[in-house]
Amino acid sequence: MKHTSRLRVLDAVELIANQIAIGSHCQELINEYMSDYELEQTEELKQKITNQQSLLSQSIIMRRMVMENLLEIFESSDKELRCTFKHAVASYMFATECAQAATSICRGDIQRRAYLQMVQVLSMFLGIEVQVCGRCLQDILSGKQSKDVFRMRKEESSDVIESWETESSDLPTNN
């Protein structure tokens, strides 16, 4: 098994998505605790609200830092799309959570469409065409020529096919 590493852009997108999720869950709890606090003003509820507000602030700061890092990496990035990108990532993240929870609102290919929309906005935000495949994006960022990428992919696929043929020849037949 070969060691693979995820590309920093895709890792950043996942980190942004998870920071948005943390913020969303913190906000839900803040709203819940505030409603309870209106009924019964206890120190325990006040402390819970303060703790969640602190976590919410931390998640916002972390998300902003990661987005700034992305902007610094790509000179061609469009800073005006920053908010659109954030919302596209949030939409993708919520669609994914919704699909995993098997709720009726995310039937069909809603999660996939949200993902493709996020990739499109990410491409516009960074000013480069982002490939859905992380390895293809890595090739683009590392400046490999398309011929080299094609040759490498062809060699890799030949190796995989040969290993499948070897493995399948060892299997018993139904004859």
Mapped onto helix, strand or coil, the DSSP state of residue 174 is coil
Per-residue pLDDT at 41: 95
pLDDT in tens, the chain (175 residues): 222 334 678 888 889 999 999 999 999 999 999 999 999 999 999 999 999 999 999 999 999 999 988 888 777 888 899 899 999 999 988 888 888 876 667 666 788 888 889 989 988 988 877 766 655 655 555 654 343 433 333 344 344 334 434 443 444 444 3
Output the CA angle 31-37-38, nearest 5 degrees: 95
Which residues contact residue 73 at a Cβ distance below 8 angstroms, ignoring those fewer than 6 apart?
8, 9
For 133, half-sphere exposure in the C-beta direction (CA atoms, 13 angstrom radius) is 6
Per-residue pLDDT at 133: 63
- Whether residue 33 contacts residue 45, with contact meaning beta carbons closer than 8 Å, is answered with yes
Per-residue pLDDT at 132: 62
Q: Which of 61, 58, 62, 120 is nearest to 89 (CA)?
A: 120
Per-residue pLDDT at 152: 38
